[in-house]
Amino acid sequence: MSNLYGDFNQKIDYVFKVVLIGDSAVGKSQLLARFARNEFSVDSKATIGVEFQTKTIAMDQKIVKAQIWDTAGQERYRAVTSAYYRGAVGAMLVYDMTKRQSFDHIARWLEELRNHADKNIAIMLIGNKSDLASLRAVPTEDAKEFAERENLFFMETSALDSTNVETAYLTVLTEIYRSVSKKTLLANGDLDATGSASLLKGTQIIVPGPETDNQAKGGCCMSS
């Protein structure tokens, strides 16, 4: 795949809404800023209410706009829930790997997500702040087991040094794209003899830059 990112003059083929959820101060806004603008702010303030940013990418000659929503993790903003989740086809479920409590709350966030979002939503469990390895409070195996049990993707990231941030987002966006494309092919009757979407075989997302070398660090997994 060439020209994964860039200024696209072509029409947008798909708009995918992805929501960021998790406790306050786990790094949701920083993960968004790192992916959308390749920025990181040491003095980042807590998100008030809801905000979103977009990033346009190319997948199989289709132009996809990712619309990524970020909300405050504090309880007092929970009233935005139903509107926030409406139309979401992907979710980044974020905890701080140096704060066990933020991981312990993940089950509650996942329940809320599943109560409000589409049942086929693609979900990535993210253990953020992997750059603070010496302060780790959540073993990778604990998170892997949870992800496998709940059928989630899983990756450890660092918004600070950008480890696995791009890979995490692209994994979710690729899963959404494949799901949507397969539905389109099903509707058109364009499937091979095995029932698989033949046009999607061999689809590969090429992650540019040093990000690819960091994939092994994050421990990505999904149950079969």
User: Mapped to the 3 state alphabet, what secondary structure does 111-170 carry?
Assistant: HHHHHHCCCCCEEEEEEECHHHHHHCCCCHHHHHHHHHHHCCEEEECCCCCCCCHHHHHH
Q: How far is CA 104 from the centre of its chain?
A: 19
Over residues 127-137, the mean pLDDT reads 97
Instruction: Give the pairing type, strands 50-59 and 88-96.
Output: unpaired
- Beta bridge pairs of residue 68: 18, 53
Average confidence (pLDDT) over 50-76:
82
214: which 2 tokens? 């960091």
User: For 153, phi and psi rounded to 5 degrees?
Assistant: -75, 155
Q: Which of 81-85, 103-107, 121-125, 197-201 has the lowest mean pLDDT?
A: 197-201
Q: How far is residue 128 CA from its own chain's centroid?
A: 12
What is the number of other CB atoms lying within 10 angstroms of the CB of residue 121? Answer: 21
pLDDT for the residue numbered 45: 59
Q: What is the mean pLDDT of residues 148-170?
A: 95
Give the pLDDT score at 136. 98
Mean pLDDT over 53-68 rounds to: 91
Handedness of CA 67, 70, 75, 77 (dihedral sign): negative
| CA atoms of 134 and 139, how far apart (whole Å) | 12
Residues 215 and 164: beta-carbon distance below 8 Å: yes
Tens digit of pLDDT for each residue in 77-106? 555 567 888 899 999 999 999 999 999 999
CATH topology of domain 14-218: Rossmann fold (3.40.50)
- How confident is the model at residue 22, as a pLDDT? 92
Give residue 182's pLDDT. 80
Q: Specify the pLDDT at position 24.
A: 87
Measure Cα distances from 142 to 24, 131, 133, 136, 166 in Å. Answer: 21, 18, 15, 12, 23
* CA angle centred on 60, ends 200 and 87, rounded to 5°: 85
∠173-176-177 over CA atoms, to 5°? Answer: 85
